[in-house]
Structure 1
Amino acid sequence: MSLWQHLPVYHRYAELPETFYIRVIPTPLENPRWVTWNAPLAEHFGLTGVPDEIWLQIFSGEPVPDYFQPLAMKYAGHQFGVYNPALGDGRGLLFGEIRDRQGRWFDVHLKGVGQTPYSRMGDGRAVLRSTIREYLCSEAMAALGSETTRALGMMVSDTPVYRERVEQGALLIRLGETHIRFGHFEHFFYTGQHDDLRLLADKVIEWHFPQLLLQSHQQQPYQQKVPPYLGLFQEIVQRTAKMIAFWQAYGFAHGVMNTDNMSVLGQTFDYGPFAFLDDYDPHFICNHSDYQGRYAFDMQPGIGQWNLTALAQAFTPLVGKNELETELGTYTVLLNQEYSRLMRCKLGLQQHQDGDSELCSDMLKLMAKNRVDYTLFFRRLSSLDAQPPEFVAELFHDQPAAMQWLQQYRLRCEREIDSAGHRYSAKQRCQVMRQVNPKFVLRNYLAQQVIDAAEQGDFLPLEQLIQVLQHPYDEQPMFEQYAELPPAWGKCLEISCSS
């Protein structure tokens, strides 16, 4: 009868004290219908086939079988730099945890299931518009190679949801290795519940970083010992640096980098007013509600450090301040190292040589000045084994300047040699570059087009866009239109936190 009869559901988080959560019964949606089901992801958990009406009822909240124990997590966080203690799962519920075929644990989290004690006067619903955007972007980011939450399925309903206008209520089934955020630690720190803070840290280590316990026992007497709590903070710093380096290299703007939207595993989640860059603008603000530009694209690395500093404050009952400050000092170095590595890959430069930073910096300045499309530039740069330099330069208003940079780039590429002393050919270089420079990304106007169709009951454009985004590095000539420059109207869409 059940999808889950052969797939055990666990409740590790629900076994924690009730200071960590409140049990909540979801509010069912009116006349729910499946929109899409992520069959490739489902297969990783041994879940095959198309979901039926029983699954629809279970996930829409009526009834909730005994093997699920829905709960709303309690946490806090800094929102736009201001501490807010009154946060928690306001429209999402953790239903349980499952394991994939490799034995990895994943939360089963439903978003849009109605009010919880943390809804803060909200209705606890998610609208079709925002649910489609999160589904698309989480799957697009996964296909690009980013660590992220995933979307297992999505449904729509007749439940009216009131935002700037009346919209359809929808629901997202989200899978993530954890939904524990920086804000969980902040909640227990600022409320003085330091025993629970320590328990939270213990469980994060046990569930996600067990090697920290093993390392602490295996260290030799002459080695410098790293306590597990410090090791945990190190891991979070490293993973956060790697995540944000990926964002910067792939032109992704998150839009709401509050500490309650930061995963302790360094995985992108809580997709809201995000955007991939069209024209390269380092000061791009994707969130219409971000009036001060706090979360602008070029601010993301610094905000990552700000958020880690807030987390470090919450760690002070566990780790000494000097040790925390030392680890915080590694963040920028780690981020810059990872960003440099990723950018060299995008440029097809396998070795680090003097002048590479200047070459990349000159490129970005030229792109910004000429408002060059970020994704299309790198994809065309990856085709210089078959196309002349003019194919890239025509993206620039100042084509002579572009040709001058391309000449410098060509000379740099000629200095690349393999371990045997042979030069890499343009074909070799570009083949590798096309594996890291996507042809397709989730542009906001593409998302808006499928949203417009879906709100009229047509979900075929959504399914087609999902198919395209699952293979961002492939040529896919039958979907060439998705790789074209966005229309003028598509570059000025206003996306806010409303969802």
Structure 2
Amino acid sequence: MTDAFRPSRAILELGPGFYDEVAPADFPLTIPRFRNDRAAASIGLDDLDPAAWLRHFGRFEALPGSLEHPLALRYHGHQFRSYNPEIGDGRGFLFAQMTDTAGRLMDLGTKGSGQTPYSRFGDGRLTLKGGVREILATEMLEALGATTSRTLSLIETGEALQRGDEPSPTRSAVMVRLNHSHIRYGSFQRLAALQDAGGMATLTDYVLRHYFEPSDTPAPSPYATLIDHAVTNSATQAAQLMAAGFVHGVLNTDNINITGEIFDFGPYRFAPAWDPDFTAAYFDHNGLYSLGRQPEAMQWNVYQLALALRLVAPTEDLAPALKTWPDRFDAAFATAMLARLGVVPRDPATDLALARSIEAALTETTMPLARFWFDWRGGTLRGTSPAAATYALPAFAPFLAAVADYAPAAPLDHAYWSDPEPCALLIDEIEAIWSRIATDDDWSTLEGEVVAIRRMGEAMR
């Protein structure tokens, strides 16, 4: 370890009632497939040599000064709005904590690292395809400016897995993700179900001390402060999902963390067009988590957190923040949409009107999202676009009128803006990347896609 690595064991402050010590699976192989040195540099681990990388992230040898044993966190959650008390970390664990270069407490969590007390007859493994998909999702969301977890490592593990929703046997992997926190809404829901007021106080204190700056505004209780942060973070996350055209697929309360990062990717999709009914999960028969219902889902989730906090706080302490959720979403939606458009904000009402005009035009015309954002970056149509005729339709008239008063936020001098086609990540492209790996063990297409996504991110910054 270098001096830049600053380990932590903060989670142990909670005590053993919040987690179980577990052992990682003993994998037949550890073949490195993805190493995110950009993310590793933020926590002082980019200097690990290849052998050390495999020891720590394939065999889970403890990082010096951090957790001595992996911890499977305990939580409950609503899954498609049905409460489930029998979940928790079933194929992952909290492996390590450290402080990043910005001074934030960070978690390294795993996916596919073996069975735990919460595996519920599952094998505790991750398919290699699932790991590849998560790399692509996190890289794309990061490039688009969304608050997301980051995929630190993917290691193939040499097991043949049986799965009912993809061709089997299929290859296995273990993944490590970097998050600000793995504390979920479901962590609080579990304590409410157990009527554990003391545990609720302990967890709330831990979260407020480690993840949020103290507020100068007096609050009736720490629980009111917590729900206020959660309202802001959930509204912001919903807005960022929409601006990214990203359909998460499983916005359950056990998949929503307290620090507001998009994480735990399953059957996600980047929507090809702004279709409010577009869904990602084949099993989401009622469209609960469709593109257009994601804000509703996030608001519903934060209300479930508030219901859990009622164990220790009166409704009147929590309600004021909850009532502001629509306004905070509108503000975050305008911010996220204007950031993706690349224009300088003017004032809240005007910015929201511009954002809504984009949403309306895209919905009515089914314009390809990647094409629109690429063509109109900076608020002006650049050159000749294959979609020029669509922009002349009446549906775009309110947008054209609104955007005329906006200035570009930065010069468009990056070579990306001269490309003939935008960088996108639709399902066919993801499947083609996986096909090259599955058929020929050819990783070059994935590597090239990561380079292309990061290049787009550089251009957008």
* TM-score, normalisation: structure 2: 0.88
SS of match in other structure, 1:243: helix
| Aligned pairs (5 A) from 1:336-355 | 336-347=330-341, 348=343, 350-352=345-347
Q: Is the 8 A contact 2:60 2:95 kept in 1?
A: no
Letter paired with 1:320: P
Deviations 1:147-191 (A, max 9, x none): 121111111121111102211110111111110000000001111
Q: Look up the match of 1:292.
A: 286
Asked whether the 8 Å contact 1:346–1:378 carries over to 2, the reply is: yes
CA distance in 1, matches of 2:276, 2:313: 36
Are 1:439 and 1:473, in contact at CA under 8 Å, matched by a contact in 2?
Answer: no
Deviations along 1:230-279, one digit per CA (max 9) or x if unpaired, are: 11110111111011111112211111010000010111111111111112
Shift of 1:316: 0.9
Report if aligned partners of 1:185, 1:314 keep a CA contact under 8 Å in 2. yes
Q: Structure 2 vs 1, CA of residues 65 and 413 (structure 1 numbering), >3 Å: closer, same or farther? A: closer
Q: 2:12 aligns with which of 14, 18, 22?
A: 14
Write the letter of the residue equivalent to 2:204.
Answer: A
Distance 1:275 1:377, change over 3 A: same
2:383 aligned partner? 387
Quick check: 2:2–2:47 contact (8 Å CA) kept in 1?
A: no
Unaligned runs of 5+ in 2: none
Q: Which residue among 46, 49, 69 is the counterpart of 2:44?
A: 46
**CA separation in 1, counterparts of 2:103 and 2:414?**
32
User: Aligned-pair distance for 1:22?
Assistant: 0.8
The yes-or-no answer on 1:459 pairing with 2:443 is: yes
Q: Which moved more, 1:135-144 or 1:193-202?
A: 135-144
Does the residue aligned with 1:311 lie in a helix, a strand or coil?
helix
Question: Is 1:233 the equivalent of 2:227?
Answer: yes
What is the number of equivalent residue pairs in this alignment?
A: 449
Are 2:204 and 1:209 aligned? no
Q: Rate the CA distance shift 1:25–1:66 in 2: closer, same or farther, 3 A.
A: farther
- Indicate yes or no: 2:161 matched with 1:161: yes
Q: Which residue of 2 aligns with 1:446?
A: 429
**Identity percentage over the alignment?**
27
**2:38 corresponds to which letter in structure 1?**
P
Which stretch has the larger CA shift, 404-413 or 88-97?
Answer: 404-413
Which residue pairs with 1:59 in the alignment? 57
| Residues 405 and 353 of structure 1: CA distance in aligned 2, closer, same or farther (over 3 Å) | farther
- Find the counterpart in structure 2 of residue 31 from structure 1: 29
SS at match of 1:86: coil
Structure 2 residue identity aligned to 1:184? S
Distance 1:382 1:17, change over 3 A: closer
The C-alpha deviation readout for 1:166-220, integer Å capped at 9, x for no partner, is 11110111111110000000001111111111111111111112514xx4xxx7x
Does the C-alpha gap of structure 1 residues 353 and 293 become closer, same or farther in structure 2, counting only changes over 3 Å? closer
Contact 2:249 2:281 in 1 (8 A): yes
Residue correspondence of structure 1 range 97-246 to structure 2 within 5 A? 97-164=97-164, 165-212=168-215, 215=216, 225-246=219-240
- Sort the Cα spacing of 1:80 and 1:62 in 2 relative to 1 into closer, same or farther, 3 A: closer
Change (3 A) 1:457 1:194: same
2:74 paired with 1:74: yes
Structure 2 equivalent of residue 480 of structure 1:
none
In structure 2, relative to structure 1, the CA distance for the partners of 1:65 and 1:340 (3 Å cut) is closer
CA positional deviation for 1:142: 1.7
1:362, distance to aligned residue in structure 2 (A) = 5.3
Deviations 1:45-101 (A, max 9, x none): 232346423431332236557753201000000000011001110000111211222
CA distance in structure 2 between the partners assigned to 1:8 and 1:414 by the alignment: 49
Structure 2 counterparts to residues 352-431 of structure 1, below 5 A: 352=347, 361=356, 363-382=358-377, 384=380, 386-388=382-384, 391-394=386-389, 396=390, 402-406=392-396, 408-416=398-406, 424=407, 428=408, 431=411
Q: Distance in 1 between matches of 2:21 and 2:377?
A: 52
Secondary structure, aligned partner of 1:9: strand
**Any idea what SS the aligned residue of 1:87 has?**
coil
- C-alpha change, 1:457 and 1:155, in structure 2 (3 Å) is same
Shift of 1:309: 1.0
2:434 aligned with 1:470, yes or no?
no
Equivalent residues of 2:154, 2:175 under 8 A apart: yes
Give the Å deviation of 1:350: 3.2
Distance in 2 (alpha carbons) for counterparts of 1:161 and 1:33:
16
Match of 1:251 among 242, 245, 249: 245
Distance 1:56 1:78, change over 3 A: same
Segments of structure 1 that go 5 or more residues without pairing to the other structure are 417-423, 477-499
Kept in 1: contact 2:234–2:260 (CA 8 A): yes
Distance of aligned partners of 1:4 and 1:56 in 2 relative to their CA distance in 1, 3 Å threshold: farther
1:285 shift after superposition:
0.6
Per-residue deviation, 1:435: 12
Amino acid across the alignment from 1:376:
R
Alpha-carbon distance between aligned partners in 2 of 1:472 and 1:163, rounded to the nearest angstrom: 34
Equivalent AA in structure 2 for residue 261 of structure 1: N
Aligned with 1:268 (options 262, 265, 268): 262
Cα distance between partner residues in 2 of 1:277 and 1:153: 26
The RMSD of aligned alpha carbons is 2.9
After superposition, the Cα gap between the structure-2 partners of 1:415 and 1:156, relative to the gap in structure 1 and judged at 3 Å, is closer
Q: How far did 1:452 drift?
A: 1.5
Q: Which moved more, 1:93-102 or 1:352-361?
A: 352-361
> Is the 1:273–1:287 contact (alpha carbons within 8 Å) kept by the matching residues of 2?
yes
* Greater C-alpha radius of gyration: 1
The offset of 1:475, in angstroms, is 6.5
Relative to the length of structure 1, the TM-score reads 0.82
Give CA deviations for 1:421-471 in whole Å, capped at 9, x if unaligned: xxx5xxx47847999999424322222222122223211111111111123
**Is contact 1:61-1:113 (8 Å) kept?**
no
State the distance in 1 between where 2:153 and 2:186 align.
Answer: 27
**CA separation in 1, counterparts of 2:249 and 2:89?**
19
Q: Which amino acid aligns with 2:194?
A: T
Secondary structure at the residue paired with 1:132? helix
192 and 475 in structure 1: CA distance in 2 versus 1, 3 angstrom threshold: closer
Q: 1:25 to 1:335 in 2, by over 3 A?
A: same
